[in-house]
Structure 1
């Protein structure tokens, strides 16, 4: 019960990683307030939590709604933990095709929302003598080919924001860290394609099969994998950890595919075979 007596806010808590994290924090004793645009699923999560989770409709592209979410947590007794997680794929256009408005909308959803989540949570945490903030980045922050350009850029920004915010807020005893998911099976991919119903479920199944072959750990990542890392970073177990990130990617970024897949020739193995 690492979060007994603690109060937490989770954005994007109606589904996927946010839902799994809200449930994990509540399971470990926290009172959780989730913010999301998905009212039906948000209320369903709250209804099945034995009163440990509450829901408030929140559009994280609107700073006033983020502020209202944090204020609601304060009014309920205080704020100790924030998980800035809400997001979607954003614009899928390449850099030579994207419109300024689509760029700005993606940044507002994925980067400005995190900045404003920190902005409005920090003063409330400072009043309580400190707290923990965790932000969701992505493996796409480290290179190309894993997500659209605007999404990847925003997620790289989240990592740097995490560092500088940790420095800014250290004087208030507020720790700021990030979690970096790899290939996690949620509806983020199918939602970006506008898929629903049986088609969405079929494509999700195909994604899970593909994900199981995308990294050294031969299975798809699960929202619960990320929730476990967030719970660690938000807890006193990580009291000496700030301004950094945890990769939860099944080893996707350990090296080229040739470094862990014996069926893929690498430079060293090719040279070794040639010299035999």
Structure 2
């Protein structure tokens, strides 16, 4: 049993990218700590497996880059949960690992559509549900790449910088409403997203971390669960670093 048992009692969460990796780990902690969770992801089979493994209420298959699908999923979550108190937007892709001059146009658009536009669509649909209840926590998963930029990862870096800027803007808009909006800015950590990268890029990212190791999914999930809890009550429009000492601002 989690030592934070009951922390999310009565709270209702939507987690994007919830079928695997960080999203799934966050869902498991929230359920263990008393929350009700709906998972959003692309693959229904993976969602069904994750729902069973973590004890989520249900899984909804959708593409977060499609605003029509996001709106429909938000209505489904509202009906299933009776309201939404928490959004953890962790769905994302890395995109191509090539120089800007060689970057495929369709891949650039896809990365921005999922990583940045998808966060916007989810917040746009779910923030009003939180405002209606006078309480909410939004956690957008960005990256240290959004602060510092990674070579040969321009679309990813740009999309995550956009997430940081968007989070700061929305957080200031909602300050005073009871809805806190913050971003997580991790350095690289071990998730299935590594399968989208060449080993050379993985080695580069590890070389930039002063602690000399990658973060763990559980370490990032712990930070997100604090950010998504009632304890995070006087911080909004901010970034929380889990970078092993890499981040310098």
Correspondence for 2:3: none
Structure 1: stretches of 5+ with no match in the other structure: 194-202, 256-276
Give SS of 1:5's match.
coil
Of 220, 231, 237, 1:237 maps to: 231
* Mapping 1:133-172, distance limit 5 Å: 133-145=138-150, 148-172=153-177
- Higher radius of gyration, 1 or 2: 1
Give SS of 2:102's match.
coil
Correspondence for 1:2: 7
Task: State the distance in 2 between where 1:192 and 1:56 align.
Answer: 27
| Number of matched pairs | 242
TM-score (structure 2 length as normaliser):
0.89
Per-residue deviation, 1:94 = 2.6
* Mapping 1:1-276, distance limit 5 Å: 1-49=6-54, 51-76=55-80, 77-145=82-150, 148-192=153-197, 214-254=208-248
Per-residue deviation, 1:37 = 0.9
Per-residue deviation, 1:210 = 8.1
TM-score (structure 1 length as normaliser):
0.81
Are 2:98 and 2:152, in contact at CA under 8 Å, matched by a contact in 1? no
Per-residue deviation, 1:191 = 3.0
What is the CA RMSD across the aligned residues, in angstroms?
2.2
Displaced runs of 4 or more, over 4 A = 209-214
Give SS of 2:175's match.
helix
Tell me: CA distance 1:213–1:107, structure 2 relative to 1, closer, same or farther (3 Å): closer
